[in-house]
Structure 1
Amino acid sequence: MIYEFYYHGGDTSGYYAEANRVYEIFGNNFSEGWQLMTTSVGDTSAATLKYGGRFTWFTHAPTEDYVVRLCVVLALLSFSTYSVMALMFAAMSFSGMWVMYMTFIKIRPQLYKQFATAVLFIPSVFFWGSGVMKDSLCIGALGWVFYCFYRGAIEKKNILRSTIIGFLAATPIIATKVYILLAFLPPALLWVFNENSARISNKGLRMVAKPFLLAIGGGLAFFAATNLTAGDARFDVEEIGERSKITADYLYATSIAQEGSAYNIGQLDGSIGSMVKISPQAIVVTLFRPFLWEARNPIMLLSALEALFYLFFTARVLYRTGVAKSFGIIGTTPILTLCFVFSLIFAASVGISSSNFGTLVRYKIPLLPFYMCGLLITEDIGRLVRARRPA
């Protein structure tokens, strides 16, 4: 309803409209519909040449094409009923969020109520992560990847099954928003090696083994990241600075032209160095903005209220636990290293490339459960440390 009556259209409307066109082609000529579905982006098959002009994304844009094809499959199962397709997307998203929630419970069982709020009930996450959109697929898939890392690499149970499920879950992320994996893999591998090195009982052996484990983890992370982006001009390491500049400039100009919610955190010149320079501002804008006085419309006001809560809760944890003690807890607790390193890397990347609060509120939802769960665990460990102090 918000997309239809407030925004007067958007991505979710576009995905449904294009999927419905393919559905109609299936109804008129099944073989042509099947030919369209089995051609890849850029192919010039007879069906593509015949119908290609009717599409903006399908067989034209790789990341959107993936979502449209999935929508076509769901349309064939639901007689192209939007509400049923939306429920199917929501179910896929929820399945990943549920296993993410269950994983955090296994790590810190006493916080099961707080984790429910952090994973399942953050308003922007369950709104932007439940419709017919890429975001729903990606956040659900990220939950499964996180679960498989914990199940296979930390608990070392059902390793083969966890590996297979993890690779399958990573597929929609690679196809639509590979940068999520680029931000998640390095801290996830660091988490795995920190957990396993902490289990080495001999202190001397642990100190000797840890640098090697970290080196292996870093090497695997670099290998995975570079291979994920191989041949993709959008995320090639040498081009990522320039691509971020182009995206940020485009979104900023668009939002200014539409009297939208633009923000400016500094000048990008297309280099990695300029990205690093404005990363602190990008992290702040992602986690804690828009401020209340920056709200220009009802949707922005809701985002501002949510961002104010993140700022308040972060300040409360740092105040109660202590800044130095908080950083000490994070540095010595592997799951917190994952939560905060991923959150900060991801916050910096989306904050730099968005330049628009309207898109940022959607882009940042994968980090929010990890960030909030990280704060909850830090606060709980700090409370236990204070309780053990002698009176």
Structure 2
Amino acid sequence: MTQQDLIITPIYLLLFLIAAYLLRSNFSNSQTSNYFIPALLFKFIGAIALGLIYQFYYGGGDTFTFHTHGSHWIWEAFMDDPIVGFKLFTQEPGNYNGETYAYTSKIWMFKDRASMAIIKLAAAFDLLTFGTYSSTALFFAAFAFSGQWAVFSIFQKIYPDKTRWLAFSILFVPSVVFWGSGILKDSITLAALCWMTFALFRIFQTNNYSLANILILVFMAWVIYAIKIYILLCFIVAACFYLYIRYISTVKNTLVKLMIAPILISLFLGGGYLALEEVAEDDSRYALDKIGETAMITAYDIRYGWGARHGDNSGYTLGELDGSLGSLIRLAPSGIIVTLFRPWVWEVKNPLMLLAAMESLAFLLLTIWVLYKTPLKTLIKKLNSPVILFCLSFALMFAFAVGVSTYNFGTLMRYKIPVMPFYSVFLVLIFPSKSDQKAKK
């Protein structure tokens, strides 16, 4: 960050807040409007805080790789020659040529397609912010907020009596505010995931089959596919569970339900399997027969490779991975626990881990409290809800995926943020409400 940030960023911050105030009524109702500007402001604070932490605590990191050693050079190209700058936007990652080499040679992640997607997006915002890091970060935060607000709005429409707790669960979880706001892949994939969920529920929960919803679902799936394919894989599986329960629950006759259940299982789960294979076709690492090996390589690389060098001695292990699917399944419970509830307080090695441990402890205590207060009969009944099952299945699947393939708390704190809103919403939705208590009486 430079002195330019201190001049330009306050201007953009003011413009964003004015726009939010003017547009709030278009995207909120009487129950949600009070959360709109505070939630957006929290995202902006998170984006700026992220930059400060990376600059003054880590002394560098991914966010500066994307901007200082990434989009900044596309911005420089535009200032020198707009034609060359435009060519950088359309140039294939890793495809060096003499005309743009003076700039691409300085982009650290030029060979990585997913990273270049973030770098090009940041460069587009740089054109509006004069290449100012923190101002560009505000644009990332605004996009992340848009997705979280969209998914909050659709959940609130389905469960209006849970508005306050849904707001806290989706908009104000500290780790999500911090790691999901700045110039990182995680901000974009979190927003895209939320927009996909919004479109899924708009289409199938409220029967709004508009072209806009379909386009949102497809486009955001493409965004995630281009950046972090494993998020899309988890979403597809959770969506298949959701669709199966959604349609089987509409059949009231038990005999008919038994007859069509195999058809629906074949349709949604079989279709989901084909979708997974199709998505993984361009990246063999995520093919079903390669997932175990990919998880092993990733976990050990983060634990003992670059993660060990940049993770502040925050590595962990759940057991031995041998590259087989069986070893992953064996570690599944431990993977879910480490993502949702660790690091434990006694595992803390640095200030950021302490904050993560406090949040994890809060989620552990909250989980125990909710399960204690929710009768087993009520819990089983609520798990028949397609929306609740979607939240739980996605949260558990994603928690398992990142837990067994990360092996470093510093990295896990960032990777796990897609889990937190959906797991939080699950807890909110299964907790007995006043209407549940009245029905019981």
Structure-1-length-normalised TM-score? 0.94
Distance 2:99 2:329 in 1: 46
Of stretches 76-85 and 294-303 in structure 1, the one that deviates more from structure 2 is: 76-85
Distance 1:44 1:120 in 2: 41
CA contact (8 A) 1:39 1:45 kept: no
Distance 1:99 1:217 in 2: 25
CA contact (8 A) 1:151 1:157 kept: yes
Question: Structure 1 residue 348 and structure 2 residue 395: aligned?
Answer: no
- What 5-or-longer segments of structure 2 have no aligned partner? 1-51
Distance 1:89 1:337 in 2: 30
What is the CA-CA distance between 1:389 and the residue it aligns to?
3.7
Shift in alpha-carbon separation, 1:215–1:159, aligned structure 2, 3 A: farther
* Partner SS, residue 290 of structure 1: coil
CA contact (8 A) 2:151 2:194 kept: yes
Distance 2:348 2:425 in 1: 27
**Mapping of residues 168-179 of structure 1, within 5 Å:** 168-179=219-230
Distance 1:42 1:15 in 2: 15
Q: 2:350 aligns with which of 294, 297, 321?
A: 297
Match of 2:125 in 1: 74
Describe the superposition over 1:79-106 as per-residue Cα deviations: whole angstroms up to 9, x where unpaired.
1111221111011000000011011112
Question: Structure 1 residue 328 and structure 2 residue 389: aligned?
Answer: no
Question: Structure 1 residue 280 and structure 2 residue 364: aligned?
Answer: no
What is the CA-CA distance between 1:215 and the residue it aligns to?
1.9
Match of 1:31 in 2: 83
Query: What amino acid does structure 1 have at the position aligned with 2:86?
Result: W
What is the CA-CA distance between 1:273 and the residue it aligns to?
0.7
Distance 1:126 1:66 in 2: 22
Q: 1:374 aligns with which of 421, 426, 429?
A: 426
Distance 2:260 2:371 in 1: 32
Shift in alpha-carbon separation, 1:42–1:257, aligned structure 2, 3 A: closer
Number of residue-to-residue matches in the alignment? 387
CA contact (8 A) 2:225 2:232 kept: yes
Match of 1:150 in 2: 201
* Partner SS, residue 54 of structure 1: coil
Distance 1:216 1:48 in 2: 49
Q: 1:56 aligns with which of 97, 105, 108?
A: 108
CA contact (8 A) 2:335 2:400 kept: yes
Question: Structure 1 residue 357 and structure 2 residue 402: aligned?
Answer: no
CA contact (8 A) 1:190 1:214 kept: no
Distance 1:103 1:385 in 2: 21
Match of 1:195 in 2: 246
Distance 2:309 2:96 in 1: 36
Question: Structure 1 residue 211 and structure 2 residue 258: aligned?
Answer: no
Question: Structure 1 residue 65 and structure 2 residue 102: aligned?
Answer: no
What is the CA-CA distance between 1:329 and the residue it aligns to?
2.9
* Partner SS, residue 320 of structure 2: coil
What is the CA-CA distance between 1:45 and the residue it aligns to?
3.4
Query: What amino acid does structure 1 have at the position aligned with 2:396?
Result: L
Of stretches 297-306 and 182-191 in structure 1, the one that deviates more from structure 2 is: 182-191
CA contact (8 A) 2:373 2:432 kept: no
Match of 1:159 in 2: 210
Distance 1:224 1:181 in 2: 10
Shift in alpha-carbon separation, 1:114–1:49, aligned structure 2, 3 A: same
What is the CA-CA distance between 1:210 and the residue it aligns to?
2.8
**Mapping of residues 104-123 of structure 1, within 5 Å:** 104-123=155-174
Question: Structure 1 residue 6 and structure 2 residue 57: aligned?
Answer: yes
Question: Structure 1 residue 235 and structure 2 residue 275: aligned?
Answer: no
What is the CA-CA distance between 1:113 and the residue it aligns to?
0.2
CA contact (8 A) 2:152 2:167 kept: yes
Describe the superposition over 1:317-348 as per-residue Cα deviations: whole angstroms up to 9, x where unpaired.
111114x4365134322111111111111001
Query: What amino acid does structure 1 have at the position aligned with 2:237?
Result: P
What is the CA-CA distance between 1:257 and the residue it aligns to?
5.1
CA contact (8 A) 2:72 2:123 kept: yes
What is the CA-CA distance between 1:39 and the residue it aligns to?
1.4
Query: What amino acid does structure 2 have at the position aligned with 1:211?
Result: P
CA contact (8 A) 2:73 2:103 kept: no
What is the CA-CA distance between 1:384 and the residue it aligns to?
4.7
* Partner SS, residue 167 of structure 1: helix
Q: 1:184 aligns with which of 215, 221, 235?
A: 235
Distance 1:378 1:71 in 2: 39
CA contact (8 A) 1:191 1:334 kept: yes
What is the CA-CA distance between 1:43 and the residue it aligns to?
2.3
Shift in alpha-carbon separation, 1:327–1:267, aligned structure 2, 3 A: farther
CA contact (8 A) 1:75 1:81 kept: yes
CA contact (8 A) 1:318 1:326 kept: no
Question: Structure 1 residue 260 and structure 2 residue 313: aligned?
Answer: yes
CA contact (8 A) 1:282 1:347 kept: yes
